[in-house]
Amino acid sequence: RDRGLFYRLQKKGLVERICTDAQIAAAVDTPPQTTRARLRGEFIRRAKERRRDYTVDWVHLKLNDQAQRTVLCKDPFKAHDERVEKLIESL
């Protein structure tokens, strides 16, 4: 891979590489396990498995069903939340 600003700067010796392309690719599907990204990732994975309609943004996890169940996850460093676990169990 050699397209994009980072790769141009790297070729000129202006940036230092701190991870591999393989690590970047893995990060796409493996969220940090110590942040709310873990909650989002697990919710999305389980909703897809069960073919459920959902909406997710930085802080909201929402099932798009009649009840429109939504969990607000404000704390970015909270990797476990009982409300999210209950929402996932209800899928």
Range of the domain at 49: 32-91
The answer to whether residues 9 and 22 belong to one domain is yes
The answer to whether residues 59 and 77 belong to one domain is yes
Asked whether the beta carbons of 81 and 70 are under 8 A apart, the reply is: no
Whether residue 80 has pLDDT greater than 70: yes
Domain count for the chain, please give it.
2
Let me know how long the chain is.
91
The answer to whether residues 43 and 77 belong to one domain is yes
The answer to whether residues 7 and 51 belong to one domain is no
H helix runs in the chain, sequence order? 5-11, 21-29, 36-49, 82-89
Q: Other C-beta atoms within 10 Å of 81: how many?
A: 17
Strand 70-72: give its sheet, edge to edge.
Answer: 54-56, 60-63, 70-72
Asked whether the beta carbons of 61 and 40 are under 8 A apart, the reply is: yes
Q: What is the CA radius of gyration of the chain?
A: 17
Grade residue 1 by pLDDT with cuts at 50, 70 and 90. low
pLDDT tens digit sequence for 15-70: 999 999 899 999 988 999 999 999 999 999 999 999 999 999 999 999 998 888 99
The answer to whether residues 24 and 63 belong to one domain is no
The answer to whether residues 38 and 12 belong to one domain is no
The answer to whether residues 51 and 61 belong to one domain is yes
